[in-house]
Structure 1
Amino acid sequence: MQTDKTTGTTNLVGNIITHVTTLVRKELQLARAEIGENLNTAATAVGVIVGGVVLTLVGLNVIAAALVAALSAAGLHPFWSAVIVGGVAIIAALIMIKGGMSKLKASSLAPTRTTENVRRDVHAITETTNV
Structure 2
Amino acid sequence: MTDRNEGGGPLPAAALAAVIAALTRLLGNEVALLKAEAARAASDTRRAIGLFAVAVVLGLVALNALAGAAVLGLMAAGLHPAWAMLTVGVGLLALALGYAQAARWRLRRENLSPWRSRRSMQRSLSTLGGESEKAPDHADQ
TM interval, short-chain normalised: 0.3 to 0.5
TM-score for the superposition, normalised by structure 2 = 0.44
More helix by percentage: 1
Bigger Rg over Cα: 2
Per the normalisation by structure 1, the TM-score is: 0.47
